[in-house]
């Protein structure tokens, strides 16, 4: 065998090992998370851990329920803002305006996806929170504030991916609809949106993942009080904030409880990812015909 | 209340355009607000002097260094791993169970929030491996975070190199590795570099993963094991502790401008790449 | 001792891509310093045959062979064959000219560089020699540093020819090399091949039966992966032995 071919075989082996790096890292992260976080969950009982409504680390009371609800509310709120406005933008930029306008605005929106989350949180802190306090009362640091900031943060994701999904629709779909006398809005409602459905759903799930995983911005505007929020204006603590706020000084079982919080978060995200993968590949198979 | 199509068209158009303008306005407002409040604080002194008195006075020089060093380390680790993985997936195997597992790993990794990376980095690097709060811990953690992005963009770039080029190289007696290094990688380079630049942007803005691994020491780092503060972490601390608003805005402005530069670089490169192959 | 007049022996050779059999029990010989034309309709196995000779078929998923192909006495499907060397020995020109995105000089030098030749003077000589043999030197001698992509279609194809000549092959395999070219470029390439015959053994796969009639010494007719007939070109064209050959040449199918 040629000397060069022998070298090739070695390189192939080396690359195979490198390629496994991503999988290995994922495996190591998962193993560590679970190794550090699960023991304490079972020590105090899974039910009390997930459903307990009190979190007093110094007295070894670890109940994550308020944080789970907090993450849920805040994500829901973010979607309530991000999805309608995001879809509106996508539709306008693809169907109701010129390609040139889109070529200018889409990069700007994608630029905003790169702005650090702490900057968004900061804007919330200095503008939105005082505004909410003045207009609606309450501390300002609230579910509402967190929802709005997160909603704004996931807009670039939803817009960018939805635009790509809509642009991928064959022009014949539109042409067919217009030829039947439909207005652009009717075309959008009855042809475009259904056709782009899988891409749009993917963008929403991606946005949802971002919202659930966001930490810094939420800490800056949500108030971080432990307790199931009673209203939009009540302060809230999410699973992510819980970890970030106390990591710095937690020790012993307190620290392990935070790892356990990470495990819960990790599981939720994995479930979301799997749903996203299954929906998008399932849809892909359907549209191949 | 069923409207006739033409009216509903007009209503829809107005509402949608309204929402769009509001969205774009809000997004633009964020950038302009930061720049307007932050640019006045920017001066040569701000950029070249270290923070004094926990950041109440002075500049942000050590945090700029921290950001640069941390980002550089992350890129140095993640690029060979990511590009190597992409090369293996596209050039050295056909689609099979192994490649699907590797891709699944990379995609899952992409969806993990940064706080979990911070947690993981803290457990493994800072604590178990004993690196402590350090550039090494931070760099490794960031590297793992940006790895999926580099794999994805590199794979796309490599896949878009015409198959004919490879056929030519093989028919002239080239080995796989020679074909990869002499034909495929040079042609895929703009796309790969785009992915790297995107990852640089992400690393610059990252806070949650960094603060728990690289710490927040204000001195200029002297070794891989020194703790160091990045601009994002510094900004977060300044803002949340209310240490100095003008300096907070200034740091935010530097961050935003850095991201702007990164994005412009990405677009220029991407356009060059597209032009080359159309 | 006179060299074996038979350069390539194909013995009961079959090629499989997965479950699909693309070449079926081929038996033929290629004589040294001849131009062998291979004609036949689409998907008859002509291109697959070339890929079997230079073992580019190895790159196809699920590739499997039966039988032997002996070049210079040795079975090229022996496990310890140096495939790299084999591919240098059998230079291949494909239907679509594919200049690499580099200068004309670097295109030609590409093969030799991979083979380890680094000396600039030697590379200069190789490039000049190859371009002359490929009939392109006069046209590009002043612009060897410009991009190969800037050449016309015909020039690009001659560049591809020169590129393989740089490796000093024994055989030149061509897969429908002029199918996309204008008549003048076609003629230039056919002229080059006639001249090259003296130093190389040439196998020319072509869709254009008239081209085979023009320059091939012998012609083989492939159909559905089988070798139907092979013989001196004049004989095959004027008095084919197989009914199918006759039908194809008369255009009754194709």
What are the domain boundaries of chain B? 5-41, 44-277
Distance from CA of B271 to the nearest CA of C (A): 18
pLDDT tens per residue, range A22-61: 778 878 888 888 888 888 888 888 888 888 888 888 777 8
Does residue C97 belong to the interface with chain B, where contact is any CB pair within 8 Å? no
B15–A155 C-beta distance less than 8 A: no
Say which of A107, A183, A214 has its CB closest to residue B267: A107
pLDDT tens per residue, range B66-100: 999 999 999 999 999 999 999 999 888 888 888 88
Query: Which tokens in the block code for residue B88?
Result: 């293996």
Identify the chains in contact with B, defined as 3+ C-beta pairs within 8 A: A, C
B44-277 fold: MetI-like fold (1.10.3720)
Helices B231-240 and B61-87 pack at an angle, to 10 degrees, of 130
Does residue C182 belong to the interface with chain B, where contact is any CB pair within 8 Å? no
Per the CB < 8 A criterion, the answer to whether C170 and C200 are in contact is yes
Q: List CB contacts (< 8 A) between C170 and chain B.
A: none
Chain B residues whose C-beta is within 8 A of a chain C C-beta are 94, 162, 164-165, 167-175, 178, 182-183, 187, 276
B173–C115 C-beta distance less than 8 A: yes
pTM, to two decimals: 0.86
Q: Smallest Cα–Cα separation from C30: which of C139, C159, C171?
A: C171
* CATH number for region A51-287: 1.10.3720.10
- Residue of chain C minimizing CA distance to B164: C98
Reported confidence tier of residue C88, pLDDT bands at 50, 70, 90:
very high
Q: Smallest Cα–Cα separation from C41: which of C246, C248, C216?
A: C248
pLDDT tens per residue, range A184-228: 888 888 888 888 888 888 888 888 988 999 999 999 999 888 888
User: Does the pLDDT at position A284 exceed 70?
Assistant: no
C96–B171 C-beta distance less than 8 A: no
Averaged pLDDT of chain B: 87
pLDDT tens per residue, range C194-216: 999 999 999 999 999 999 999 99
Reported confidence tier of residue B137, pLDDT bands at 50, 70, 90:
very high
Res A289: pLDDT = 36
Judged by average pLDDT, the poorest of B54-58, B168-172, B202-206, B256-260 is B54-58
C85–A1 C-beta distance less than 8 A: no
pLDDT tens per residue, range C46-80: 999 999 999 999 988 889 999 999 998 899 999 88
Res A282: pLDDT = 57
Does residue C54 belong to the interface with chain B, where contact is any CB pair within 8 Å? yes
Res B200: pLDDT = 92
The whole-angstrom separation of Cα A47 and Cα A63 is 9
C88–B164 C-beta distance less than 8 A: no
What's the CA angle centered on C29, arms C27 and C34, to 5 degrees?
A: 150
A89–B23 C-beta distance less than 8 A: yes
C98–B182 C-beta distance less than 8 A: no
The whole-angstrom separation of Cα C138 and Cα C17 is 43
- Residue of chain C minimizing CA distance to B186: C101
Q: List CB contacts (< 8 A) between A216 and chain B.
A: 207-208, 236
Reported confidence tier of residue C87, pLDDT bands at 50, 70, 90:
very high
What ipTM was reported for this prediction? 0.91
- Residue of chain C minimizing CA distance to B179: C114
What's the CA angle centered on B126, arms A242 and B213, to 5 degrees?
A: 55
Q: List CB contacts (< 8 A) between B232 and chain A.
A: 116, 118
Reported confidence tier of residue A288, pLDDT bands at 50, 70, 90:
very low
Domains located in chain C, CATH noted: 6-249 (3.40.50.300)
- Number of A/C CB contacts below 8 angstroms equals 10
User: Does the pLDDT at position B249 exceed 80?
Assistant: yes
Give alpha helix (H) positions in chain C. Answer: 46-53, 83-89, 104-114, 120-133, 137-140, 153-165, 183-196, 209-215, 233-238, 243-249
Say which of C87, C96, C113 has its CB closest to residue B170: C87
Q: What is the distance in angstroms between the CA of the first residue and the CA of the last residue of chain B?
A: 51
Q: Smallest Cα–Cα separation from C190: which of C232, C158, C233, C156?
A: C158
pLDDT tens per residue, range B221-243: 888 888 888 999 999 988 888 88
Per the CB < 8 A criterion, the answer to whether C127 and C155 are in contact is no
């Amino acid at each position: 065998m040629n000397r060069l071919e022998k070298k090739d075989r070695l390189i192939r082996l080396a690359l195979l090992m490198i390629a496994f790096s991503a999988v290995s890292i994922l495996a190591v992260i998962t193993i560590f998370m679970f190794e550090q976080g699960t023991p304490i969950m079972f020590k105090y009982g899974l039910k009390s851990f997930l459903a307990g409504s009190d979190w007093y680390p110094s007295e070894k009371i670890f109940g994550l329920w308020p944080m789970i609800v907090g993450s849920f509310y805040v994500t829901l709120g973010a979607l309530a803002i991000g999805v309608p406005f995001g879809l509106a933008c996508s539709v306008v930029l693809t169907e109701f305006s010129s390609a040139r306008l889109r070529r200018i605005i889409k990069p700007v929106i994608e630029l905003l996806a790169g702005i650090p989350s702490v900057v968004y949180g900061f804007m919330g802190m200095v503008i939105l929170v005082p505004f909410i306090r003045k207009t609606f009362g309450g501390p300002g640091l609230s579910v509402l504030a967190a929802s709005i900031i997160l909603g704004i943060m996931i807009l670039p994701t939803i817009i960018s991916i939805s635009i790509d999904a809509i642009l991928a629709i064959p022009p014949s779909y539109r042409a067919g609809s217009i030829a039947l006398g439909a207005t652009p809005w009717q075309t959008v409602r009855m042809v475009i949106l259904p056709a782009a459905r899988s891409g749009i759903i993917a963008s929403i799930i991606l946005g949802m993942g971002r919202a659930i995983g966001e930490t810094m911005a939420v800490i800056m505007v949500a108030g971080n009080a432990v307790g199931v929020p009673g209203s939009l204006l009540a302060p809230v603590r999410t699973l992510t904030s819980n970890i970030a706020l106390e990591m710095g000084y937690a020790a012993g079982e307190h620290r392990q409880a935070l790892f356990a919080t990470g495990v819960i978060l990790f599981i939720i995200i994995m479930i979301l990812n799997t749903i996203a993968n299954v929906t998008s590949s399932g849809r892909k198979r359907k549209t191949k015909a | 209340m069923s409207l006739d199509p033409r009216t509903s068209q007009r209503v829809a158009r107005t509402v949608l355009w309204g929402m769009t303008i509001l969205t774009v306005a809000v997004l633009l407002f964020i950038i302009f607000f930061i720049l307007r409040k932050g640019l006045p604080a920017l001066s040569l002194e701000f950029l070249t002097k270290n923070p004094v008195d926990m950041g109440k006075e002075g500049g942000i020089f050590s945090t700029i260094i921290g950001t640069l060093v941390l980002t550089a380390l992350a890129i140095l680790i993640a690029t060979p791993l990511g590009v190597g993985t992409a090369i293996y997936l596209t050039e050295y195997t056909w689609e099979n169970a192994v490649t699907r597992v590797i891709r699944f790993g990379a995609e899952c990794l992409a969806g993990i929030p940064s706080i979990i990376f911070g947690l993981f980095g803290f457990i493994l690097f800072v604590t178990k491996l004993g690196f402590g709060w350090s550039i090494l811990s931070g760099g490794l953690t960031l590297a793992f975070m940006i790895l999926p992005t580099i794999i994805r963009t590199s794979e796309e770039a490599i896949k878009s190199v015409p198959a004919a080029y490879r056929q030519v190289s093989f028919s002239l007696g080239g080995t796989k590795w020679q074909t990869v290094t002499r034909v495929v990688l040079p042609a895929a380079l703009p796309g790969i570099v785009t992915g790297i630049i995107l990852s640089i942007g992400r690393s610059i803005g990252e806070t949650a993963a960094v603060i728990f691994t690289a710490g927040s020491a204000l001195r200029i780092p002297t070794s891989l094991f020194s703790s160091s503060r990045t601009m994002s972490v510094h900004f977060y601390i300044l803002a949340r502790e209310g240490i100095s608003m003008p300096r907070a805005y200034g740091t935010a402005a530097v961050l935003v401008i850095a991201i702007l530069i990164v994005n412009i670089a990405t677009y220029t490169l991407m356009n060059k790449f597209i032009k080359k192959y159309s | 001792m006179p060299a074996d007049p038979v350069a390539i022996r194909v013995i009961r050779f079959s090629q499989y891509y997965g479950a699909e059999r693309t070449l079926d029990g081929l038996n033929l010989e290629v004589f040294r310093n001849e131009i062998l034309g291979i004609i036949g309709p689409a998907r008859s196995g002509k291109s697959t045959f070339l890929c079997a000779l230079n073992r580019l078929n190895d790159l196809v998923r699920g590739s499997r062979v039966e039988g032997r192909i002996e070049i210079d006495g040795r079975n090229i499907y022996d496990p310890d064959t140096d495939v790299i060397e084999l591919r240098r020995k059998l230079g291949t020109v494909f239907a679509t000219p594919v200049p690499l995105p580099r200068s004309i000089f670097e295109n030609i030098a590409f093969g030799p560089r991979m083979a380890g030749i680094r000396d600039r003077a030697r590379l200069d000589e190789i490039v000049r020699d190859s371009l002359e043999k490929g009939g392109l030197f006069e046209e590009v001698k002043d612009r060897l540093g410009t991009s190969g992509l800037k050449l016309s279609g015909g020039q690009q194809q001659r560049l591809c020819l020169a590129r393989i000549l740089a490796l000093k092959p024994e055989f030149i395999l061509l897969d429908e090399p002029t199918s996309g070219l204008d008549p003048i470029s076609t003629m230039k390439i056919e002229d080059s091949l006639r001249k090259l015959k003296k130093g190389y053994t040439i196998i020319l796969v072509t869709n254009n039966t008239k081209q085979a009639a023009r320059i091939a010494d012998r012609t083989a007719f492939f159909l559905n992966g089988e070798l139907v007939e092979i013989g001196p070109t004049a004989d095959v064209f004027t008095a084919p032995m197989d009914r199918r050959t006759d039908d194809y040449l008369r255009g009754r199918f194709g």
